[in-house]
Amino acid sequence: GAGVSQSPSNKVTEKGKDVELRCDPISGHTALYWYRQSLGQGLEFLIYFQGNSAPDKSGLPSDRFSAERTGGSVSTLTIQRTQQEDSAVYLCASSPRMGTGGVEQFFGPGTRLTVL
């Protein structure tokens, strides 16, 4: 079956512009996660959704970052007024349910964001 998909695969933007990154989770997966992978910070958790609500936004680095999920499916991560330090690969993952333990997360291929 189809895996997690993300779009665009690459995004180049100018400093100060807003960007939107999209994630389509595996059909039927109720939990959705966003992570960021950068050279300086490694792999960092940003936010997760259970259904359409986001119980944990603790990883969002600033108020320029926001995310929403509609219909319990597609999610959009928005970065306003992008800065060069936002350059990274943004990874989305989904899982069949939100668990406190060993539930596997399935990752998408990521969106590589470059802020000039």
Partner 1 sequence: AQSVTQLGSHVSVSEGALVLLRCNYSSSVPPYLFWYVQYPNQGLQLLLKYTSAATLVKGINGFEAEFKKSETSFHLTKPSAHMSDAAEYFCAVSISGKLIFGTGTRLQVFP
Q: Give the binding site for partner 1 (CB under 8 A).
A: 4, 31, 33, 35, 42-45, 48, 56, 59, 91, 93, 98-110
Sign of dihedral through CA atoms 115, 59, 73, 107?
Answer: positive
What does the alpha-carbon distance between residue 15 and residue 11 come to, in Å, rounded to a whole number? 12
CB-wise, 74 or 98, nearer to partner 1?
98
CB-wise, 31 or 88, nearer to partner 1?
31
CB-wise, 40 or 71, nearer to partner 1?
40
What six digits make up the tokens of 46? 């940003």
